[in-house]
Chain A
Amino acid sequence: MRHQHCCMPSVKHILCAATLSLAAALPAAAQEFKLGVVTFLSGQAAGPFGIPAKNAAEITVDAINAGALPAPYNKKGIAGMPVKMILVDENGGPSKQVTEYRNLVERDKADAVIGYVSSGDCLAIAPVADELKKLTILFDCGAPRVFEEKDYKYVFRTRPHGAMDNVAAARYVADILPNVKKVNGINQNYAWGQDSWEDFTKSMAKLKPGVEVGTSQMPKLGAGTYSSEISALLLNDAQLVHSSFWGADLESFIQQAKARGLYDKQLLVLTAGEPSMFRLANEIPDGAVIGARGPFGVFAPDNALNRWFRDAYQKKFDSPPSYASYVMSQAILGLKAAAEKAMAKNPKPSGEDIVTALEKLEFEAPSGTVKMSLAKGHQAVQENAIGRFKLQGGKATIVDVKRYPPECVNPPEGTTAAKWIEAGFPGAKC
């Protein structure tokens, strides 16, 4: 009834329409764009991912507010307003994150939310975001099934999903070890580790039919000590060890495996090794295959945005940005690009306008071009790059870099990553 009243052709109708327009405008009668940023500020993932992402958010937002970014982002603010960042700790699990998300949207009146490293958190937040009709950008989580199991209107992921990490790693291994016969694996026992290992072994099976699995070790997240697992790897004489380990687990494993001489016998393939390669420059063996989960960090192209990003990050935090920093910055830039596209049609765009503008958007980031081409324009694809570690003059470097176009390592629209790999990568353009 209220709806009918509001839409009766009268003076009241005009007032109602005006009120609705004002209510939908972004943000309601405010002078700033409130951006919720959720990442790990405590817990195991804070060091390798959460804090680098927070740092990246700070320098990107500061540069946006100062109008100090290179083109095409050199206009101040988002949707013409200065950005106010509301930072939230992602630690605590999906249930807590859903509560925090509701707080951000309903209490703090965030205009958009960018967040979530953990795939579990992404899977929990996405339906709530659609329920609350709030533009939400998943900046780092990798699970392909976020958009494979359901369509979302208000949820986007501005980084490629995790399947391409392992498809690219398998392609790289097939190139550098054409006679590979047997592979070992050690991955953390949760969705990330299990999916990574499955994608890698299934990709290897398609690229090199007949490849055997020696042993697949799945210690729990945060196990720390891997003596038994390393013995099992040593007893299975495969040519390589695949691992999607990250953070302290990765660093502990690298050290313990080195002390046991594992690298003398098996090639190390680390799909998420890039954030640790500078810290462990003297521990990682030369030749180890390193990935950064996309064209990030050392694999990022030489463009104006990347030069700005690397310099600003190095200057403020005295260390180079890792992939978590890159994906945070590109999520914020994707939001800004969408807001500016929406402003071309409406100088004061609503949240809905920005959502529409972000669908199927192609925008530039420090990591190169990002195409929102999967999941009806809600999931990004990018190229991937893989290389080999080499200590040169005491510095950690990457050599023998191979780049794989987006269409080579990402499934096309309309299929899932698992089915695409199972089918032998139909339609892949390498």
Chain B
Amino acid sequence: MQTLIAIVVDGVIYASWLFIVAAGLTLVYGVMRILNLAHGSLYAIGAYAGASAVVWYFARNYPVAGSYALLVIAAIVSGALVGLLVERGLLRLMYGRDEVVMVLVTYGVLLILEDAIKLVFGVEAYTAFQPYEKMGRTSIGGMTFATYDLALVAVSIVVALALWWGVNRTKQGKLLLAVIADREMATALGINVTRVFIVTFVIGSVLGALAGALTAPAIAVAPGLGVEVIVLAFAVVVTGGLGSIEGALVGALIIGIARAAAVHLWPQVELFVIYGVMALVLAVRPQGLFARAGARKI
């Protein structure tokens, strides 16, 4: 019974982390048709910004509660700045190119940002454990979990609800849906697609940075972080369907639970499970769980 509880709780914790990481990636693809490999770098930048801010904060003996707000602020500031820089400085010059070209361009950005991170933050790992540690432990079914990890589940639910509400219940969201449905028609109807693109890319970047900043207190933030995470995020969005927020949520849950089950029941296949699930889904639904197969435009 305890094993079952552990699988469910660990699976949901991992899924919530995967969802926050993947949400920005799938949002940008859904609107802009850009598979943004540089999303991994935004995760890393958020992690470094969050860890640096927390180190600075605790060096001044400020109260613990403020550090959580600081993590979010660090993510918003760093994600928005870098996102804006990448979109305005490079991507806007590439719009209209083939999707494969955009993948190569964002891969180049990933490499450049990885080196930039190294130049700014060095190669030593950053540790900022206080926000993680100070939240303490919570007992579920006789097992102890880090309260911070459980709080991340709540954060991912808030992010999912905010995205759903923003896309489906606001005027800006309706405009976004119009751009997703038909970019040319949306332009013809007078929607400022350029602005939609900027806003979408910045929101996607902030989500990536938020995932990094919220993960930073649990890990040692070290070079290579962004490259590791982009592969996982990619598996999630492909499983759920490229461009689908609901797909990212369900994909993260399936992969999270499957991975937790493997860790507890058959640890040797833990690495295989994530990609095994992805392969299985793609074999049955090549477009992913939630993406609709679209008619090709001529």
Contact = CB atoms under 8 A, between A and B. Distances in A.
A259 B264 CA distance: 20
Interface stretch (A62-70, A248-256, A306-314, A372-380): A248-256
A231 B143 contact: yes
Given A220-B271, A225-B215, A261-B144, A232 B6 contact: yes
Contacts of A99: none
B129 A228 contact: no
Contact of B224 (A44, A215, A227, A280): A44
A258 B148 CA distance: 13
B123 interface: yes
B136 to A, nearest CB: 8
A224 B145 contact: no
Of B2, B219, B259, B264, chain A has the most CB atoms within 10 Å of the CB of B219
Contacts of A225: 14, 17, 215, 218-219
A247 B264 CA distance: 25
A214 to B, nearest CB: 11
Interface in B211-256: 215, 218-225, 228
A343 interface: no
A233 B259 CA distance: 16
Contacts of B287: none
A218 B268 contact: yes
A220 B6 CA distance: 20
B168 interface: no
Contact of A228 (B132, B222, B224, B264): B264
Contacts of A216: 267
B132 A255 contact: yes
A47 B264 CA distance: 32
A234 interface: yes
Interface string B8-36: 01110110010000000000000000000
A283 interface: yes
Contacts of B222: 44, 47, 247-248
Given A235-B6, A259-B133, A217 B215 contact: no
Contacts of B145: 227, 231, 260
B87 interface: no
B114 to A, nearest CB: 8
B2 to A, nearest CB: 6
Interface of B: 2-3, 6, 9-11, 13-14, 17, 115, 118, 123-125, 127, 129, 132-133, 136-137, 143-146, 148-149, 215, 218-225, 228, 259-260, 263-264, 267-268, 270-271
The 7 lowest CB-CB distance pairs between A and B, nearest first, are A248-B222, A251-B220, A248-B220, A228-B10, A46-B123, A228-B263, A252-B219
